[in-house]
Structure 1
Amino acid sequence: MGRNAIIFHGTGGNPDVCWYPWLAGRLSSRGYAVEVPHYPGINVEPIAGFLQKVLDGHSFDEETVLVGHSGGAALLLALLEHLDVTVAQAILVAGYCTRPNSAEEPVLQEIYDWAAIRSHVRDIYFINSREDPYGCDDRQGRAMFERLGGTQIVRDDGHFGDYNQPYERFDLLDRLIP
């Protein structure tokens, strides 16, 4: 099938903001088939029903690279738990596994089967900032890293893109994806 990558935007986001178009272009130029789907239901619809739409909407295999930002990174936890294949790589940018602030987080599951998640991805990265304005910080990254292993990267870079934080490029991601 060839290498493919799927980039999941965050809560209230869309495929045209932040570094998503830039990264899609970089990966396409290296031969990846890239999808940047628009899911307005991310972190709006309860994960129990929403997850099936995502599973049905894409193909996953051992060469798939998954990138998620914020709510899209939280989505990757549920997605990885319920896949029936082991994907090549998952990168969770400003991800979280418990409520990072007082807002409702319908994208989160009550509990996770961490062993299942780990068995469905060969290489996993957690990229968080110490001063994330939404609480998707290095402590959230550490909580996932402690349960799943992989690589934790801590920066001081806000939310890695937001309505008030233009983030047109993300060179680190380009380097992490082979």
Structure 2
Amino acid sequence: MTGKAIIFHGTDAHPDVVWLPWLREQLTKRGYAVEAPHYPALNVEPISRFLPKVLANHTFDENTVLIGHSGGAALLLAILQHIDTTVRQAILVAGYSTKPNTNDEPVLQDDYDWAAIRGHVRDIYFINSRNDPSGCDDRQGRAMFERAGGTQIIRDDGHFGDENQAYPTFPLIDRLID
């Protein structure tokens, strides 16, 4: 079964960093229609103003797979809360639902409707690392997992890529996507 995959980059990033281009290629080979938008205002503009723009730029249905890294994973929580359909999968890599460090986090909502989030995704995965230098660690993953259910995967892989950590491929994500 194929469908559409939408891959959201993290804060201060773009669709051509770390494992994102590799995953686009893998999913395209498998027959997915892949969207990898560039959102420079991600985690800069308040979520209340940013989210409507994101929702207007994409369509979501039962064959949609959402993947987000870091700030893009935090964005997935808002998307899942506010869409009016159930998507097939959501994979939040180095995601968080509360401030992971001292940086401003405009991508975060003040609170979340966890029942709505869970109701809008068939399978949700939280992939976090115990040694994430940005604070998007296993405790952040556990907090989301306890509220939304799904599957939590804990690794020791830093931030799964950023300017100081090369992470050109991510086979685990490719295997998780059905």
Which residue does 1:166 correspond to in 2?
166
Give the structure-1-normalised TM-score: 0.99
Asked if 1:16 corresponds to 2:16, the answer is: yes
User: SS where residue 175 of structure 2 aligns?
Assistant: helix
Q: CA deviation at 1:20?
A: 0.5
- Give the 5 Å matches for 1:92-171: 92-171=92-171
Structure 1: distance between partners of 2:56 and 2:3:
19
Which secondary structure does the structure 2 equivalent of 1:31 belong to? coil
Q: List structure 1 runs of 4+ shifted beyond 2 angstroms.
A: none
1:35 aligns with 2:35: yes
Give the deviation of 1:158 after TM superposition: 0.3
SS of alignment partner, residue 53 of structure 2: helix
SS at match of 1:110: coil
Q: Mark the runs of 5 or more structure 2 residues left unpaired by the alignment.
A: none
Q: Deviation per CA, 1:4-46: give whole Å up to 9, x if none.
A: 0000000000011110010000000011000010000110000
What is the RMSD of the two structures over their aligned residues, measured on CA atoms? 0.6
Once the two structures are superposed, what CA deviation does each residue of 1:68-88 show, in whole Å capped at 9, x if it has no partner? Answer: 000000000000000010000
Amino acid corresponding to residue 117 of structure 1 in structure 2? I
User: Match of 2:84, as an amino acid?
Assistant: D
Residue 99 of structure 1, CA deviation:
0.3
**1:38-117 paired onto structure 2 within 5 Å:** 38-117=38-117
Q: TM-score, normalised by structure 2?
A: 0.99
Deviation digits for residues 102-133 of structure 1 (CA, Å, limit 9, x no counterpart) = 11100000010110001000000000000100
Partner-residue secondary structure (3-state), 2:31: coil
The SS at the match of 2:65 is: strand
Flag structure 1 segments of 5+ consecutive residues without an equivalent.
none
Equivalence for 2:3: 3
User: What residue is the counterpart of 1:175 in the other structure?
Assistant: 175
**Letter aligned with residue 86 of structure 1:** T
Identity of aligned residues (%): 73
